[in-house]
Every structure is written in structure tokens, then in C-alpha cells.
Amino acid sequence: ELHKGKIWVQSEYGKGTCFFFSIPVTKEIEYFEVVKSQSGFAKNILILEDYSFDIQLFKECLKDDYNLFITNFVQKGLEVLEKEKIDFIILDYFLADGVGTDIVDYLLEKRAKIPLVLLSAEKKIKNLPVWDRYKHIVKRAVKTELKCEELKKILARYLEDS
């Protein structure tokens, strides 16, 4: 359901059973936007998200206080990390061109200490197969229904001392 697919069964007594599934295949278009805050002292946040509703929510919530680098592609996120000083990352688990753990692997490889929040549509994020490997670097794992005020509290907690 998360990927807009279907699963169904056709069975005929004495003949057998067939299981079917479908997953739509579409070519994702890379999205990248930089939104600069009017504040001269704004921190830089990298947002990796492929759901347009969440992108708009994060943008409206944070644009006045932070510089935002927003993309739906892992590769573009890696480019931003190479070129910009990023202070915080909001990372969706599933992205248009891969999984968000590629970003976490990059941070581990570079020994970067950038705090991040991992978002997922999964009901129990800590049950994801990669959780044990990344739990020490992920500051918070939340379902995708992250509200603006909750996000601001998380950012204040991890950015106030940096």
C-alpha cells in the first residue's frame, strides 16, 4: 500500500492457486530547492523528503528561521553535504532514488556529527532492519506525521548549543 501496489489471489479448487502483485513504476523527477532565511545567522537544514505535502509543511514551518536545502534524491543530498555546512538533517527513509540510509552511511564514513531525524511511514520505525546499525547516529525516529511545533522543539533541542 505504501508503494501504491496491489496483491491478490486467484484460486480454483483442484487446479491450484496463483498469487499476483503489481507495483507501479514511474520515473521520478529530481526536486531541489534552496530557501534562504532573512536572518543572517540562520542554521542550515538539509531536508530529504519525496512526499510533496511534507515538503510544503517543512518549508512553511521552517523558512523564517533556517536556511533550507530540500531534495527528494539521495544523490543530491550527498552533493549538498559535500558543498554546504549542514547543521541538521530531516531524512525520509524511502526517497525517490533510494533509501535514506545511504545518507547515514555517508555521515558514518565521514565521521560527521550532524544530528538527524529519520522519518518513515512504517508503523514501528525501530523495527526497520537497519535500526540497530544506525540508532546511535539518529537522534529521533518518527512517523511521517510530524507536526510543525514538534519539529521546532526537536530542532531547538539539538541546535541550541551548536
Residue 51 has pLDDT above 90, yes or no: no
Q: What is the pLDDT of residue 144?
A: 56
Q: Return the sign of the alpha-carbon dihedral for residues 43, 48, 54, 56.
A: positive
Element (H, E) at 138: strand 138-143
Of 20-29, 58-67, 130-139, 147-156, where does the model show the most confidence? 58-67
Residue 83 has pLDDT above 60, yes or no: yes
Choose among 153, 138, 155: nearest CA to 45: 155
Render pLDDT for 141-158 as a digit per residue (tens, 0 to 9). 555 567 888 889 888 888
Render pLDDT for 24-37 as a digit per residue (tens, 0 to 9). 666 678 899 999 99
**Contact yes or no for 76/95 (Cβ under 8 A):** no
Q: What is the pLDDT of residue 141?
A: 58
The overall average pLDDT reported for the chain is: 83
CA 61 to chain centroid, in Å, comes to 16
pLDDT (average), residues 31-60: 92
Q: What is the pLDDT of residue 7?
A: 85
Residue 129 CA: distances (Å) to CA of 82, 111, 141: 27, 22, 14
Q: How confident is the model at residue 138 (pLDDT cuts 50, 70, 90)?
A: low
Percentages of the chain per state (helix, strand, coil), in multiples of 5:
30, 30, 40
